[in-house]
Amino acid sequence: MSKRVYISADYSQYNGDRDVVEELQKWGNDSLHKVDFIDMSSVAAGSVASDPDCRICDLKAEFNRQINASSAVIFVVGDKTRSRTAGQYCARAFLETCYGVYCTPYKQNSSGEKPCKVVNTFPTQNNNVGNINSYSYLRHEFEQAVSRKKDIIIVYNSTRYEHDWLPAYMKGYEDVASPFWTINAIGQRIGNYMYVKKALGFE
């Protein structure tokens, strides 16, 4: 049994949640459970982002494509998740024209701002969330997963239930969120995969 699962997480180098993603990737590579984990950082480092003129809206459109191709989405929630704003600044989201609108290409801050390249906008189709919006990257991924009715799995980067960490847009999902880590018999912190395995249909 093989599944394609998208992972949304805060990849900040110093206080993000990469440790959870790395543990999930290890599990996905085992010989028993065949899971193709697609994480946000891989998407952001892929062919779309390699374009020197890649914009916030281009990344969000690629997130949509990857989420649509997945059967489930895992959201890793850490103590900084609710305060993350990366991806939310898009002046075009509030205007009907691109005239006079500028944005900074992704990872090209040193190159300064460039004129908005989206001349015309169109209504979204197939329940996709529009890629021109004022959502952070993390919120955009969540809204897309909800809109496309994907199986949503939420794990806290903690050994405890941390409902206060949930962003406002995840309100109502407290009952399906679970700690990712547990403490074993010798006091080591290890990944608790029971919740994830059950949600993915492996138990």
Q: Where are the domains of the chain?
A: 2-85+136-199
CA dist 45 and 43 (Å) reads 5
Question: What's the CATH number of domain 2-85+136-199, 1.25.40, 3.30.70, 3.40.50, 3.90.105?
Answer: 3.40.50
Directed axis angle between helix 56-68 and helix 137-147, to 10°?
30
Contacts 24+ apart (CB under 8 A), 18-22: 19/157, 20/76, 20/155, 20/157, 20/180, 20/191, 21/76
User: In this predicted model, what pLDDT tens digit does every residue of 70-114 receive, in sequence order?
Assistant: 999 999 999 999 999 999 988 888 888 888 888 877 765 556 788
Kindly report, residue by residue over 173-194, the tens digit of the pLDDT: 999 999 999 999 999 999 988 8
Over 34-63, what HEC string results?
Answer: EEEEEEHHHHHCCHHHHCCCCCHHHHHHHH
| pTM recorded for the entire structure | 0.90
